[in-house]
Amino acid sequence: MKSINQEIISVLESIPLFRGIDRQDIVNMLGCLNPRMSSYQKNQPIASIGDPFLGLGIILEGEVIVAKENIAGNRMIITVLKKGDMFGEMMSFSMHTTWIAAVTAQTQSQIIFISPEKVISQCEKMCSGHKKLIENILAIMAKKALLLNRKVEYLTIKTLRGKLCAYLLETQKRTQDVFFELPMNRDEMADFFNVARPSISRELSKMREDGWIDFHKSTFKILNVDQLKNYIE
């Protein structure tokens, strides 16, 4: 890891897992954590359901999709992750030894994997940041649990338009921009909401015709916030 420490430190010190840990402590901790770095091409599987669990993944470059299949064999997207995001943290501290979801590189990606045992075990070098690392991962797991709960709430919204209204409002709130990019394309949104792709495009077009939103490709603008909020209710 010595040859790539400086390459990955700038990413690691900016992500929630290493929040509150100074740069030198992160450098020291890498010797204990001994992460493994792998590169993936666009659309290349990172992990398939049933594969041996690789450990906690951190995205250094690119984007990945985490998805599962329903009983009918249709793909359902759980989340889309970008640079600095993590995956596999829930499994890291469960009884599962194989992947329960499929992870695929949406773009050319670089990922490091850390064994969960390295995270929770006593640090051999007595790194001062190791306790903070454990605190951080517990906070991250709690946040992920809340996000999963939010997705369940999506399922309680009966109409596709209602789901799209909630999704657009949440994305705009997260970006805090008048014009905002959706993290998923139409196919991925269809998988996420478990509907056919034409249904997504058709409903978005109707919402634009109604004067609720405007968009060009993946760039959106909400024109009538109240209408979107009222439709969800």
Q: Using one digit for the tens of pLDDT, what is the confidence trace for 106-151? A: 999 999 999 888 877 766 655 667 888 888 888 888 887 877 777 7
> pLDDT-based confidence at 24, cuts 50/70/90?
confident
Handedness of CA 104, 106, 111, 117 (dihedral sign): negative
- pTM of structure: 0.68
Mean pLDDT of 19-34: 85
Q: What is the pLDDT of residue 221?
A: 96
Higher pLDDT, 213 or 80: 213
- The tokens of 127 are what? 């790194």
- Which amino acid belongs to residue 3? S
Domains of the chain as residue ranges with CATH: 5-147 (2.60.120.10), 157-232 (1.10.10.10)
Say how far apart CA 116 and CA 129 lie, in whole Å.
Answer: 16
The predicted pLDDT at position 162 comes to 94
Mean pLDDT within 65-94: 83
Compute the average pLDDT of residues 98-103.
92
Please state, for a pLDDT cut of 90, what percent of the chain lies above it: 40
Flag whether pLDDT at 4 surpasses 60.
no
Q: pLDDT by residue (tens digit) across 151-162? A: 788 878 989 999
- pLDDT of 74 > 80? The answer is no
7-16, 51-60, 67-76, 109-118: which has the minimum mean pLDDT? 67-76
Tens-digit pLDDT profile for residues 195-223: 888 999 999 999 999 999 999 999 999 99
In the sheet with 56-61, reading across from the earlier edge strand, the strands are 36-40, 109-114, 56-61, 86-87
Q: Which of 133, 229, 215, 227 is nearest to 173 (CA)?
A: 229
Angle formed at CA 141 by CA 162 and CA 87, multiple of 5 degrees: 80
Residue 223: both structure tokens together: 């024109």
Instruction: Look over the chain and give the mean of its residue pLDDT values, rounded to a whole number.
Output: 86
Cα distances from 46 to residues 42, 66, 102, in angstroms, run 10, 10, 8
Closest C-alpha to 212, from 223, 202, 200: 223
3-state SS of 36-96 is EEEEECCCCEEECCCCECCCEEEEEECCEEEEEECCCCCEEEEEEECCCCEECHHHHCCCC
Q: How many angstroms separate the CA atoms of 57 and 46, rounded? A: 10
How far apart (Å, rounded) are the C-alpha atoms in residues 63 and 158? 30
**Residue 2 has what pLDDT?**
43
pLDDT(189) > 80 = yes
How many C-alpha atoms does 26 have within 13 Å on its Cβ side? 20
What pLDDT, on a 0 to 100 scale, did the predictor assign at position 1? 46
